[in-house]
Amino acid sequence: MKFVIVCAVLFCTLSSRASAQNIQIQALPQTVNYRKNDLVIVCSITNPSQLNAVYYIQLQRNSSTTFETVVSVATGQTPPVQWTDTQLQGRATATGNVDSPSSAQLRLTIDKNSVICPTDFKMYMCKMTSYSNVVSDGITQETSPIELSYVETPTVIEMPRLRILNENFDTPNRQFPVGTMIQLTCRGEVGNDASKTIRWCTQKTNEMMFTELAQTPIHSEASLSGCQYTRSSTITYTLTKEDTFTQFLCESGDTGLCGTGTAIQYVNITIG
């Protein structure tokens, strides 16, 4: 599945008079490449000239029923940045200040090696209390929640298993007579999109490159572990006299041409 960053904002004020929105939330990058990007969320002030002071900024994350504060920065706190979510504190860092409206900020960073999927890919929002020189009153504002977008690349795929059609057991043999119908099965990761599959390509003797097989594979249902889906793919292939040496490739995470997958395995078949 793929989530989309939503950056609309809403707010409530302690004053009966209207006030412009002064806080925003950003995810950097907007789409996190799991295990390759740090996860960074920033709460920042959008209109500092309209504020005389910022008293606190909170970063909140949704739980089962509500939003709970993860970390905050406030005047009078020692240290200024304090954690509420102590479990996340053990694998993340937070920096921030409310020294002045122009510099006030709260930044959460989870290192790419510490991000947990799907645990960390929840909805987040920022909340702020400040004094507005527009309405001459204290105001509390919050952003609308954002839901983090992520991509997970497949990296693991098993060696192809081989059996002769209608037999019940795999065979270690890799040489067969012309006309033998073989079944090849690959099982591996396909990423965080359940619709993705494993594809098959071949390269025969004297061919310069791999080409995708015309046969339609049979795909298993995708099973989810963490944020990564796994499935198997099976093809049936009849060996011909042209298969003096044929290399079969199964791959996932490809970007077009055969051999561009992020998870690839090979098996070599000959006739004899």
Instruction: Give pTM, 2 decimals.
Output: 0.79
Is 161-271 in the same CATH topology as 9-151? Answer: yes
Q: Could you tell me which CATH number the domain at 9-151 has?
A: 2.60.40.10
At which residue do the structure tokens 């954002």 appear? 146
Considering only the C-alpha atoms of the chain, give the largest distance between any 2 of them, rounded to a whole number of Å.
90
Q: Checking DSSP bridges between strand 263-271 and strand 175-176, what pairing results, if any? A: parallel
pLDDT number for residue 71: 98
For the domain covering 161-271, report its CATH number: 2.60.40.10
**What's the pLDDT score for residue 167?**
96
What integer pLDDT is reported at residue 7 of this predicted model?
A: 35
Interatomic CA distance for residues 246 and 173, integer angstroms = 14
Distance CA 218, CA 194 (A): 15
List of residues 6+ apart from 230 with CB closer than 8 A? 187, 188, 189, 190, 222, 223, 224
251: amino acid identity, one letter:
E
State both tokens at 192. Answer: 């965080």
Alpha carbon distance 171, 250 (integer Å): 18
- Integer Cα distance of 86 and 108 in angstroms: 13
* pLDDT value of residue 19: 54
**Scanning the structure block, which residue is given the tokens 């507005």?**
132
- Tens of each residue's pLDDT in the chain, 272 residues: 333 333 333 333 333 234 578 999 999 999 999 999 999 999 999 999 999 999 999 999 998 889 999 999 999 989 999 999 999 999 999 999 999 999 999 999 999 999 999 999 999 999 999 999 888 899 999 999 999 999 999 999 999 999 999 999 999 999 999 999 999 999 999 999 999 999 999 999 989 999 999 999 999 999 999 899 999 999 999 999 999 999 999 999 998 999 999 999 999 999 98
Q: Which of 55, 56, 83, 90 is nearest to 69 (CA)?
A: 83
Domain residue spans of the chain? 9-151, 161-271
Q: What angle do CA 220, 155, 185 make, to 5 degrees?
A: 35
